[in-house]
Chains A and B, each alone.
Chain A
Amino acid sequence: MLWHNLNIDVEPGEFIAILGPNGCGKTSLLKVLLGQYQLYSGTARVNGHRARRGDPDIGYVPQQRGIDDDTPMRGRDLVRMGLDGHRWGPGWFSRSRSQKVDALLEEVGAQTYADSPVGMLSGGELQRLRVAQALGSDPHLLLCDEPLLHLDMTHQRLVARLLHEKRQARRTAILFVTHEINPILPYVDRVLYIAGGHFLVGTPDDVINSAALSELYGSPIDVVRAGGRIVIVGSDSDHHPIHHAEPSAGAI
């Protein structure tokens, strides 16, 4: 069992970070909402209806992973797939669709590299395009599965802020699975922290503190705040600070 009694309502435009150690079921939670996994008990509802496959109410932003240099696809084509990539047929040219793609590219500020091959873009640029792609179906909910992984600091900040701007402008709620809370900390409304089948929900300050996390893990955890950043330290095995929101394996 991954979680028990997990009950959370997400408001329109809300930014929720989902934290927890590997294997706690963060990604599984997203897959339930995407209709790819079924719940043993309980229900998952998206915009009033049951979670189902291919739901246009959901946009999905995956981890950044390298795309081969020679992939026959440009930035704008990647965004376009978010509009009609799931439909059958070859997809003949359509003026209204290309206008929509242009609008999406502008929304994420990707016009300058829209015609570059996706394999030749930086990780940060690729992730901006993926945000545009996910927004293509005008979703009510964005599911982000560690979209900042493998990005440098600057791009982490830029992509995090882009997501923040979009949820404000479009009232799109964001569920953001991550190991690293700091780049999104200024924007997060609530944190869902899952560990060992248990979980905590609340504002970052309520959840990410020594007392709350120590209780969640059942072992002492130190949360250190320095310069607006949060460092979580599992305090039993080693005393090296761990630079992301995950206690060392020994603490779990």
Chain B
Amino acid sequence: MTHLAANILTEYFTFENYGELIVLLQNSLFAAALLGVVGGLISVFVMARDIPFAVHGVAELSFAGASFALLISFDVVYGSIIGSLAAALLIGIGGARSSEKNTITGVLMPFGLGLGILFLALYDGRAANKFGLLTGQIVAINPSQIRTLVICAVVVLVVLLIIWRPLTFASIDPAVARAKGVPVTALTIIFMLALGLAVALSVQVVGVLLVLALLVTPAAAATQISASPVLVPVLSTLFAVISSVGGILIALGSPVVPISPFVTTISFLIYLICRLIGHRRKSRHTRARIRREADVHRHPSLVSTAGEARDASGTDTR
């Protein structure tokens, strides 16, 4: 049995020349780490605004943009950025309410995917290029593309830093935020554009089909074990970086399996562990709430005052 496992391991993994590979790919690793930071932070708002579906929709239009770029021999990274920005803008403007957002996403998504398939069918270059769009290809991108990714990532991070507080307010509590003068609609558009860039970046690492692993799962995992607005982004970033960099590091040892399954598996395992830990935390909070509520209801006399007697006598009828 152990013999068989060892056979499989040597068939799919070889860690010969591992050190040299890492040196060779250090730029890709750096880019992956940076995308992890972007993904980890963006995903906090994806969760707070409850828009994982929109992320997927943006990714599919990103795919359409990238495959069109491939068809006309334009830079794939720019193509995917343009595609996802357009989608993010459409969803941001058209879907002020979350129900509309889902409808618009649902309408855009198959359209984007269909366009992408069309462009790929017309494209007669290397098949690996086509597949790379769907499943990620960061190891294959060139230094100038990495530079573009880094610039975009820095732009997203700076924008997020500036709008962090009002965006948190507007995401969780839009009515009160608007009453406090927060430009809720403008922030939605700005955030969607940042999200569009983040999606285009993630597409390069994990591909169109798997962006949710970097843009949803990290914060979904972090919110299982904490509700602190400081700890959640930190954990989420950590999880996303571990997934993206860890995925590449493991994949380097395998000439057969591509990067993305490792990224998504690490991401998923982290979520699973957090979910298990978080289960106890949640039931503790629920029990505490039930205890507090029981106290309130058991001693109505403690919470009722003379001024209320009139009201109380009326409401306490059976």
Most buried by B among A72, A113, A227: A72
Q: Mark A143-174, 1 if CB is under 8 A from B, else 0.
A: 10000000001110110010010000000000
In the complex, are the beta carbons of B297 and A62 less than 8 A apart?
A: no
Segment at the interface with B among A4-12, A52-60, A189-197, A244-252: A52-60
CA distance A72 to B278 in the complex (A): 13
B169 an interface residue at 8 Å Cβ cutoff? Answer: yes
In the complex, are the beta carbons of A90 and B317 less than 8 A apart?
A: no
CA distance A104 to B202 in the complex (A): 42
In the complex, are the beta carbons of B314 and A229 less than 8 A apart?
A: yes
Nearest-CB residue, chain A, relative to B219: A72
Shortest Cβ distance from residue A224 to the other chain B in the assembled complex, whole angstroms = 12
In the complex, are the beta carbons of B285 and A116 less than 8 A apart?
A: yes
Segment at the interface with A among B74-82, B221-229, B247-255: B221-229
Q: Mark B38-62, 1 if CB is under 8 A from A, else 0.
A: 0000001001101000000000000
In the complex, are the beta carbons of B165 and A69 less than 8 A apart?
A: no
Q: Mark A86-124, 1 if CB is under 8 A from B, else 0.
A: 111111000000000000000000001100111111101
Shortest Cβ distance from residue A117 to the other chain B in the assembled complex, whole angstroms = 3
Identify whether the interface residues of B are mostly helix, strand, loop, or mixed: helix
Residues of B contacting A121 with CB < 8 Å? 289
Q: Which residues of A in the span 20-66 have a Cβ within 8 Å of any Cβ on B? A: 34-36, 53-55, 58, 60, 62
In the complex, are the beta carbons of A120 and B180 less than 8 A apart?
A: no
In the complex, are the beta carbons of A55 and B172 less than 8 A apart?
A: no
Residues of A contacting B48 with CB < 8 Å? 71-72
In the complex, are the beta carbons of A118 and B227 less than 8 A apart?
A: yes
Shortest Cβ distance from residue A213 to the other chain B in the assembled complex, whole angstroms = 20
Residues of A contacting B282 with CB < 8 Å? 69, 120
Q: Mark B166-178, 1 if CB is under 8 A from A, else 0.
A: 1011001101111
In the complex, are the beta carbons of A161 and B176 less than 8 A apart?
A: no
Known interface pairs A70-B47, A158-B303; A186-B310 also in contact (CB < 8 Å): yes
Q: Which residues of B in the span 263-310 have a Cβ within 8 Å of any Cβ on A? A: 282, 285-286, 288-289, 292-293, 296-297, 300, 303-305, 307-308, 310
Residues of B contacting A58 with CB < 8 Å? 179
In the complex, are the beta carbons of A53 and B161 less than 8 A apart?
A: no
A82 an interface residue at 8 Å Cβ cutoff? Answer: yes
In the complex, are the beta carbons of A130 and B315 less than 8 A apart?
A: no
In the complex, are the beta carbons of A122 and B182 less than 8 A apart?
A: no
Residues of B contacting A14 with CB < 8 Å? none
Residues of A contacting B310 with CB < 8 Å? 185-186, 228
Most buried by A among B220, B222, B293, B315: B315
Residues of B contacting A228 with CB < 8 Å? 310-311, 313-314
Nearest-CB residue, chain A, relative to B305: A161
Residues of B contacting A179 with CB < 8 Å? none
Residues of B contacting A34 with CB < 8 Å? 178-179
Known interface pairs A113-B292, A154-B303, A182-B314; A67-B172 also in contact (CB < 8 Å): yes
In the complex, are the beta carbons of B180 and A54 less than 8 A apart?
A: yes
In the complex, are the beta carbons of A86 and B162 less than 8 A apart?
A: no
B232 an interface residue at 8 Å Cβ cutoff? Answer: yes
Interface size class of A (residues with CB under 8 A): 35 or more
In the complex, are the beta carbons of B222 and A72 less than 8 A apart?
A: yes
Shortest Cβ distance from residue A230 to the other chain B in the assembled complex, whole angstroms = 9
B312 an interface residue at 8 Å Cβ cutoff? Answer: yes
In the complex, are the beta carbons of A74 and B166 less than 8 A apart?
A: no
Nearest-CB residue, chain A, relative to B224: A70
B181 an interface residue at 8 Å Cβ cutoff? Answer: yes
Residues of A contacting B232 with CB < 8 Å? 72
Nearest-CB residue, chain B, relative to A60: B179
Q: Which residues of B in the span 223-245 have a Cβ within 8 Å of any Cβ on A? A: 223-224, 226-229, 232-233
B164 an interface residue at 8 Å Cβ cutoff? Answer: yes
A68 an interface residue at 8 Å Cβ cutoff? Answer: yes
Q: Which of A89, A122, A143 contacts B161 (CB 8 A)?
A: A89
Residues of B contacting A73 with CB < 8 Å? 168, 172, 227, 229
Nearest-CB residue, chain B, relative to A130: B176
Nearest-CB residue, chain A, relative to B179: A60
Residues of B contacting A130 with CB < 8 Å? 176
30 of the cross-chain contacts (CB-CB < 8 Å) are A35-B181, A54-B181, A54-B182, A60-B175, A60-B176, A60-B180, A71-B227, A72-B48, A73-B168, A81-B176, A85-B177, A86-B166, A86-B181, A87-B165, A87-B166, A88-B162, A90-B161, A90-B165, A91-B164, A113-B289, A124-B296, A143-B179, A154-B303, A157-B304, A157-B308, A157-B315, A186-B307, A187-B307, A227-B314, A228-B311
Residues of A within 8 A of B (CB): 34-36, 53-55, 58, 60, 62, 67-74, 77-78, 81-82, 84-91, 112-113, 116-122, 124-125, 130, 133-134, 143, 153-155, 157-158, 161, 164, 182-183, 185-187, 226-229
Other 20 A-B pairs with CB < 8 A, given A82-B180, A120-B286: A36-B178, A67-B172, A72-B227, A74-B228, A81-B168, A81-B169, A81-B176, A86-B166, A87-B165, A90-B165, A117-B227, A118-B172, A118-B227, A121-B289, A122-B292, A124-B296, A133-B176, A155-B296, A185-B310, A228-B310
